[in-house]
Amino acid sequence: MWYFPIIPRLRRLFRNKGNARMMRWHAEERQQDGMLRHPADGSQWQNIDRKFKDFGKDERNIRFGLSTDGMNPFGEMSSGHSTWPVTMCIYNLPPWLCMKRKYIMMPIIFQGPKQPGNDIDVYLRPLVEDLKLLWKKEGVPVWDEDKQEEFNLRALLFVTINDWPALSNLSGQSNKGYKACTHCMDETKSTYLKHCRKVVYMGHRRFLAANHPVRKKGKHFEQKADHRTKPKHRSGKIVFAMVKDLKVVFGNGPGSQPIESEDGHAAMWKKNSIFWELPYWEFLDVCHAIDVMHLTKNLCVNLLGFLGVYGKSKDTLEPCNGLKHMEQRGDLHPEPKEKGSHYLSPASYTLIKAEKESMFECLESIKVPSGYSTNIKRIISTKEKKFTNLKSHDCHVLMTQLLPVVIRGILPDNVRATITKLCAFMNAISQKVIDPDRLAALQNDVVQCLVSFELIFPPSFFNIMTHLLCHLVKEIGVLGPVYLHNMFPFERYMGILKKYVRNRARPEASIAKGYGTEEVIEFCVEFIEDLRPIGVLESRHEGRLRGKGTLGTKAIMTVDNNLFRKAHFMVLQQSSLVALYIEEHLALVHARNIGKSDAWITRHHINTFSAWLRQHLMGNETIN
Radius of gyration for the chain, computed over Cα atoms and rounded to the nearest angstrom: 30
338 band by pLDDT with thresholds 50, 70 and 90: confident
Contact in structure between 515 and 106 (CB atoms under 8 Å): yes
pLDDT in tens, 31-52: 989 899 999 999 999 999 999 9
Q: Are residues 457 and 567 in the same domain?
A: no
555 band by pLDDT with thresholds 50, 70 and 90: low
At residue 440, the 3 state secondary structure works out as helix
Q: How far is CA 214 from CA 157, 203, 207, 217, 445, in A?
A: 42, 12, 11, 5, 14
pLDDT at 613: 86
pLDDT at 128: 95
Q: How far is CA 79 from CA 82, 115, 569, in A?
A: 9, 13, 48
- Secondary structure E strands in 317-367: 335-336, 342-343
297 band by pLDDT with thresholds 50, 70 and 90: very high
Is residue 331 domain-resident? yes
d(C-alpha 479, C-alpha 500), whole Å? 33
Is residue 39 domain-resident? yes
Q: Picking from 82-86, 176-180, 335-339, which range would have the lowest pLDDT averaged per residue? A: 335-339
Is residue 337 domain-resident? yes
Percent of the chain with pLDDT over 90: 45
Is the confidence at residue 622, as pLDDT, over 50? no
Is the confidence at residue 384, as pLDDT, over 50? yes
Q: Are residues 476 and 578 in the same domain?
A: no
pLDDT at 78: 62
Burial class of residue 158 (count of CB atoms within 10 Å of its CB; 0-12, 13-18, 19+): buried
Is residue 314 domain-resident? yes
Is residue 273 domain-resident? no
Q: Are residues 506 and 422 in the same domain?
A: no
Residue that terminates a domain, selected from 539, 570, 587: 539
- The DSSP code for 228 is P
Over range 305-331, report the average pLDDT.
79
Sort strands 155-162 and 288-290 into parallel, antiparallel or unpaired. parallel
Q: Are residues 477 and 587 in the same domain?
A: no
Residues 540/545/546/548 CA torsion (nearest 10 deg): 70
Residues 300/303/309/314 CA torsion (nearest 10 deg): 130
Domain range for 121 is 1-172+285-290+500-539
Q: Are residues 323 and 451 in the same domain?
A: yes
Q: Are residues 447 and 351 in the same domain?
A: yes
Q: Are residues 420 and 336 in the same domain?
A: yes
Is the confidence at residue 265, as pLDDT, over 70? no
Is the confidence at residue 551, as pLDDT, over 80? no
Q: What distance separates the 2 farthest-apart alpha carbons in the chain?
A: 113
> Residue 583 belongs to what H/E stretch?
helix 579-592
Q: Are residues 84 and 160 in the same domain?
A: yes
Q: Are residues 612 and 516 in the same domain?
A: no
623 band by pLDDT with thresholds 50, 70 and 90: very low
pLDDT in tens, 423-462: 999 999 999 999 999 999 999 999 999 999 988 888 889 9
pLDDT at 448: 93
- The DSSP code for 35 is S
CA angle 584, 588, 594 (to 5 degrees): 145
pLDDT at 3: 92
* pTM of the predicted structure, to 2 decimals: 0.83
Over range 216-228, report the average pLDDT.
76
Is residue 201 domain-resident? no
Percent of the chain with pLDDT over 70: 92
Is the confidence at residue 395, as pLDDT, over 60? yes
Is residue 215 domain-resident? no
Q: Are residues 393 and 436 in the same domain?
A: yes
What b/e string do you get for 561-579 counting C-beta neighbours within 10 Å, with b at 16 or more? eeeebeeebeebeeeeebe
d(C-alpha 61, C-alpha 49), whole Å? 11
pLDDT in tens, 72-118: 888 776 678 889 999 999 999 999 999 999 999 999 998 888 888 88
Report which of 39, 484, 433 is spatially closest to residue 48, judged by C-alpha positions.
39
Q: Are residues 441 and 514 in the same domain?
A: no
Is residue 72 domain-resident? yes
Q: What's the total number of domains in the chain?
A: 3
Which has more confidence, 438 or 333? 438
Kindly report the average pLDDT of the chain as a whole number: 86
d(C-alpha 21, C-alpha 599), whole Å? 34
pLDDT at 266: 54
Count of residues in the chain: 624
Q: Are residues 41 and 129 in the same domain?
A: yes
pLDDT at 544: 60
Over range 317-346, report the average pLDDT.
75
d(C-alpha 599, C-alpha 606), whole Å? 11
d(C-alpha 271, C-alpha 387), whole Å? 40
Residue that terminates a domain, selected from 443, 458, 483: 483
CB atoms inside a 10 Å sphere around CB 119: 18
Choose from 178-182, 204-208, 415-419 the range with maximum mean pLDDT. 415-419
Over range 307-324, report the average pLDDT.
80
At residue 435, the 3 state secondary structure works out as coil
